[in-house]
Every structure is written in structure tokens, then in C-alpha cells.
Amino acid sequence: MSGSHGLVGAALIQTLESEGHDIFRLVRHAPNLETEIEWSPDRYSIALARLEGFDAAVHLAGESIAEGRWTDEKKKRIRESRVKGTRLLGDALANLTNPPKIFVCASAIGFYGNRGDELLTEASAPGNDFLSDVCVEWEKATALATEKGIRVVNCRFGIILAAKGGALAKMLPPFRMGVGGKIGSGKQWMSWIALDDVVGGIKFALAKDSIRGPVNFVAPAPVTNAVFTKTLGKVLSRPTVFPIPAFGVRLLFGEMADALLLSSQRVESAVLQSAGYLFKYAQLDAALRHVLKSQT
């Protein structure tokens, strides 16, 4: 597994190890433990022989898109950390004598771009902005593994709600102080998913042979930003009467504002639901109450 210390990776490892699975971490330093395997996407190198014989590979590493302004250098790191790392690992797996049966690779609903009220499924076309282009390249980087016959699952993650880290952690301080509010018009759709269901969905995909290709990791009930804002305020017992105008968000965050905060993606988890996955938290109110309870 790459990205083992990230939000999803850490939660997934904790669950899998508690169930008796052995996890080997891809690390960018000389391995300190028997369960660490060195790789370097920047140098395009990986300890190939150490990858033989695993049941599954899970690739979650990538530069954060929500930290810092999107300078040209930042955008280059966002793209290269995803595309180069995925291509390195996918090509390595494809060249093994005994490759894993499944390669689970992170992606994002940024694939779809800003689509207004359109209902989006895994069959929907990509958008035409920076994040869309990155996601398209990211998923294409798994091509050699697919050609090898490895079952590839591209996890298009929505907004992940977690007790620590992720988008929710950044939202909470102003909302807890009673100065939260909708962003822009508030009409943009937010396709969210509880961290528990990210972990549950990945486990489900690992075990379900019929699942392959792009998979939307979003709860069944996306909401508009206005509804999300109102629900979060209700769960926190705080007012939500301080909207942030679109120009203010753009002034604060630059290009990232349009891509992450003002963009609308109404996404359906068609593959997971049709395959029989049952969400633990299908409604936003229950998901937020669970997440915020676990913070106390």
C-alpha cells in the first residue's frame, strides 16, 4: 500500500490489520521494517523483486490538492505525484512473474469537472478543467496493469467526511464559532462519503470480482452546499448565517476556489450500489453526527 499515513490509508490499514491481514507499506526512505518496501516516483524506481506474490496492491499516495495556493509548481506536483507514481506502480505490477489479482488506485470525482445539476455516473464523460485532466491521466496510468490482466479499480473519491483531516476538519472551526455559511450561491452539489464507507467500499471492491474500472465512492444522497451548510450547523447547534461570496472565496484561494469550493458535482455511486454494497451512512445528518461524536 502506498499513502499508508494518509487519511484513507491509515484508516484502511487499521481495519485490515484488525482482521488479520498483513500490510506492506511503500515508503520513500530506506526500509526500517520487514513490512516496508522502498520506492521513489521522482526517480521512477521501485524494489521490483519485493512486489512478487501479493494478493492485492492499493495505491493512495498523492500531493494534497487542498493545501496551499495552486501555483504552477503546486499544480505540477499535484499532477506528477499522481500520474508518475501510478504509472510506476502499475507498470511494476504488470512486469511481475506473480502479480496481484487486483490493483486498487485512488482517483477523484474531480474527473467530472463542474457539471451543475447533471447526475453523473461512472459512464459520464470527463470535464475539461485542470483536475479533470489530472484524473484522466491518473486513471490512464493504470493501463498496463489492466492489459496484464490485473483487475484494476479506480476509486473516484468524493468529499470524505472524517473525524480528523480532510475537508470537514477545515470547515469546522468557523462553524463551531457560529460564523459558518454557504459558499457562493450554495447551489453547487457536494457529493460526500463517510470515511467508514470509504474503507468499507474498498474492502467490498477487493472481495468482489465483478467490480473493475472507475467506481464512484460517494454516498447515495448528494446535497447542495446550502443543504450541507444547514445540516452541519444543525448538528453543531450553531447558526449558519454568514455566507461567503464567490469573489471572496476566489480572492482567498485563487484557482483552487473554482475547482474545489464552487464546482458542482452531483455524483451517483452506481457501481457500488448495483454490486450490492450497503452504506453505513447513506444520509448526511447521520454521517455528520457519527463523525462529530467520534471527535469528542
> Does residue 142 carry a pLDDT above 50?
yes
DSSP letters of 39-57? EETTTTEE-GGGGTT-SEE
Instruction: Quick: pLDDT tens for 282-293.
Output: 999 999 999 998
- Average pLDDT of the chain? 95
> Does residue 129 carry a pLDDT above 50?
yes
> Does residue 296 carry a pLDDT above 50?
no
Give the mean model confidence (pLDDT) for residues 104-118. Answer: 98
| Torsional sign, CA 155, 158, 159, 160 | negative
Residue-range domain boundaries for the chain: 7-293
- How large a percentage of the chain has pLDDT more than 70? 99
The fold of 7-293 is: Rossmann fold (3.40.50)
pLDDT at 75: 95
CA nearest to 61, candidates 86, 31, 39, 43: 86
Q: Provide the residue count of the chain.
A: 296
Distance CA 168, CA 161 (A): 6
Distance CA 138, CA 154 (A): 9
- How large a percentage of the chain has pLDDT more than 90? 92
